[in-house]
Amino acid sequence: MELHETNIKEIITRLSLDQKLALLTGKDGWTTVAVESLGIPSITVSDGPHGLRQVEQIVDGREVIRKAVCFPTSAAMAATWNPSLVCQVGKALGEECQANEVDILLGPGTNIKRTPLCGRNFEYFSEDPLLAGELAAAYIEGVQSTGVGTSLKHFATNNQETDRHQISTEVDIRALREIYLKPFEIAVKKARPWTVMCAYNRLHGIYCSENQFLLNDVLKEEWGFQGIVVSDWGAVYDRAKALKASLELEMPFKDRSVANLKEAYQNGEINNADIDTALERLLRIVFYAARNRQKRVKVYEADRHHTLAKQAALEAITLLKNETQALPVQKNQVKKLAVIGGLAENPVIQGGGSAHVQTDKVESPLFWIKELAGEEIQVDYFPAYMSGQPAIAELNQAIAGAQTADMALVFAGNRNGIESESYDRAAITLLPEMEQTIIKVAAQNPNTVVVIQAGSAVDMTAWIDKVKAVVFNWYAGQAGGSALAEILFGMANPCGKIAETFPLRLEDNPAYATYPGNGHASWYAEGIMVGYRYYDSYHKEVLFPFGHGLSYTNFDYRDLKIIPESAAENDEVTVSFMVRNSGKMPGKEIVQLYVRDRVCKVLRPDKELKGFKKVELQPGEEQPVEMKLDRTAFAYFNSSLNKWHVESGEFEIIVGASSRDIRLAGSVTIRGENDFS
């Protein structure tokens, strides 16, 4: 990060104690304190991982939110497995911040999806730390390329919303390092966010805002983070302890915070060095942000951003099941289409809470289905259920319509209010009226296709065997309607893959026994066995495995090469292979590289993702794919040595289309450390 040349230390010497303490907390909900006499500006921050959520004003105690473009949520963006596309979306978000005079965008969220119940999973990328970290880094690089800062959040182990203000996450050091801190480490080192936002919860009994191990020892000393730590809104419980732990900026403004700091200063609990060190880091960001305002644009191209949102939705939407090639819709076979469910007309495009974007342009899937059907297909629409309540007459009409249709297209999902900040989901099944609608429609029409709008895994066991195809639409943002229709009619080829395992049922989740804790503590008894690491290691049947997603074409893999075949732990290993589109339609394949440690002195997962690429191929086209593995691909965190460790031995290199669709395998011998001395 390039820093402003202002003599910050000299400015600090001219500040009074009261001015210094005031600078360490917000001016209000969204801006920092200015000291105009010394040239210290105020900067503005705003919510918005998948769209700018800027508070314009407060009217009668209610926030008035500025309209902005709503992109697909982070869970959907993760399904693209496309860092370049995520970077483009980040850049567009930065442009919208510029036009609205926002200096720092509060995102991305990169917490691990430990349980599918977490209410904010739609805001997070993945259950896998490498994928989450790489996508977070791409997002940060995109936003910050515009001169707008980011806030990587929520640091750390904010994996549930239940009891988030008091729960203590009790996780062993190895799991903490390998799973929960890893995505933050990747993003911090690779993309250098301006700020990192601490989480609400405690870690090992200490609030994250007061946790010196997290904020100073790991983040700043070990990872070399040069920015500032900002609190989540209301996540500071003792301002003096937070300052001592290396939290520079508390948000939002609180009357008691300055008084707390002053009392602690007078009691000797904090000193001038603590205050001035925090101020120096804070002011470096403030001046840097102010300087970057020179790059600001006054307006952004909303139509271009809408087009980008559609491109992102096209790459995110995931085809989970397609029995007998029910999709795409063939106009020579389907002459009458029954579209069932209110979400077809009024889709759910995002989750709730501080990430909720106000947008005035939302595409209706129903409208675009009718547009693409044209005069060749009769489209009959049946809401079936309204406002979450079963309507018998409407349902009967839908069933009757399904009986006479060539295909029934049922829209279901998690309505507004089910996935949100501040609380978790109560279940991962759909609402009973939705499940019953799917079952009853499928009983009348053997060619039933289900479209799911949701931000995290859904239990489909009650009905999945009764339908021909399932399209997981995610929360696809404002342009998802036309994107979905184009995929349904084969104008676009689905190329999304899930970035989280879909279990058969909630009880199968490895965190099930200990989530959400007892109100005071939540024990991460599963350790490193999170997501596919657990399901694949213990051969558990799943609904859909990590990395799964179907296409309208086929891809063949061949000619795996691993060079060298034997390497020292600090050497680079190159893995290459060929991928061919052997079908009849252009498509994009997400290739995944996993590493398995065949023999190890400690428990390791069956396989771990260590590389991925998205490859676009025309029918019959073949391309080489190359990935490089460094020491991190073979290391685990040794809790006895308190460091990353590589054991000597043979490692299997696994290439697949998902964690369970393995296409190629080979091995490399790594010369590492065999003992713990």
Over residues 93-111, the pLDDT tens digits come to: 999 999 999 999 999 999 9
**If you ran DSSP here, which 8-state letter would residue 267 be given?**
T
pLDDT score at 674: 63
pLDDT score at 391: 73
pLDDT score at 58: 82
Helix H, strand E, coil C: the string for 348-374 is CCCCECCCCCCCCCCCCHHHHHHHHHC
pLDDT score at 20: 98
Phi, psi of 178 (to 5 degrees): -80, -35
CA distance 54 to 67: 8
Q: What is the mean pLDDT of residues 446-458?
A: 98
Whether the per-residue pLDDT at 677 is higher than 60: the answer is no
Report pLDDT digits (tens) over 172-188. 999 999 999 999 999 99
pLDDT score at 400: 95
Whether the per-residue pLDDT at 330 is higher than 90: the answer is yes
Whether the per-residue pLDDT at 384 is higher than 90: the answer is no
Q: What is the mean pLDDT of residues 622-639?
A: 98
pLDDT score at 407: 98
Whether the per-residue pLDDT at 388 is higher than 80: the answer is no
pLDDT score at 130: 99
SS3 assignment, position 658:
coil
Q: What is the mean pLDDT of residues 383-397?
A: 74
Enter the tokens of residue 26: 């917000």
Could you give the residue ranges of the DSSP H alpha helices within 445-495?
480-488
* Candidates 163, 232, 424, 597; catalytic one: 232
Q: List strands edge to edge, sheet with 469-472.
A: 318-322, 469-472, 448-453, 407-413, 336-340, 378-382
CA distance 570 to 631: 5
Q: Give yes or no for a contact between 90 and 71, defined as CB atoms under 8 angstroms apart.
A: no
Percent of the chain surpassing pLDDT 90? 94
Whether the per-residue pLDDT at 4 is higher than 50: the answer is no
Enter the tokens of residue 652: 């299997």
**If you ran DSSP here, which 8-state letter would residue 1 be given?**
-
**Chain centroid to CA 505:** 22
Longest dimension (CA), the chain: 82
| Domains of the chain, residue spans | 8-295, 316-496, 555-671
Report pLDDT digits (tens) over 28-84. 999 999 999 999 999 999 998 999 999 988 888 788 899 999 999 999 999 999 999
How confident is residue 216, by pLDDT bands cut at 50, 70 and 90?
very high
Q: Give yes or no for a contact between 359 and 69, defined as CB atoms under 8 angstroms apart.
A: yes
Domain 555-671 CATH (choose: 2.60.40.10, 1.20.810.10, 3.60.15.10, 3.60.15.30): 2.60.40.10
CA distance 371 to 374: 5
How confident is residue 196, by pLDDT bands cut at 50, 70 and 90?
very high
Q: Which are the contacts of 432, defined by CB distance < 8 A and separation ≥ 6?
A: none
**Among this protein's residues, is 232 annotated catalytic?**
yes
CATH topology of domain 8-295: TIM Barrel (3.20.20)
CA distance 344 to 453: 10
How confident is residue 676, by pLDDT bands cut at 50, 70 and 90?
very low
CA distance 18 to 454: 48
Listed as own residue / partner, the contacts of 372-378 with beta carbons closer than 8 Å and 24 or more positions apart are: 372/485, 372/486, 372/488, 372/489, 372/491, 373/331, 373/337, 373/489, 376/331, 376/335, 377/329, 377/331, 377/334, 377/335, 377/336, 377/337, 378/335, 378/336, 378/337
Q: Give yes or no for a contact between 652 and 547, defined as CB atoms under 8 angstroms apart.
A: no
Q: What is the mean pLDDT of residues 559-564?
A: 98
Q: What is the mean pLDDT of residues 298-310?
A: 95
How confident is residue 6, by pLDDT bands cut at 50, 70 and 90?
low
pLDDT score at 387: 52
CATH architecture of 316-496: 3-Layer(aba) Sandwich (3.40)
Summary mean pLDDT of the chain: 96
Query: Greater confidence, 384 or 591?
Result: 591
Q: How many CB atoms lie within 10 A of CB 361?
A: 13
The least confident of 3-17, 242-256, 290-304 is: 3-17
For residue 381, which amino acid is it?
Y
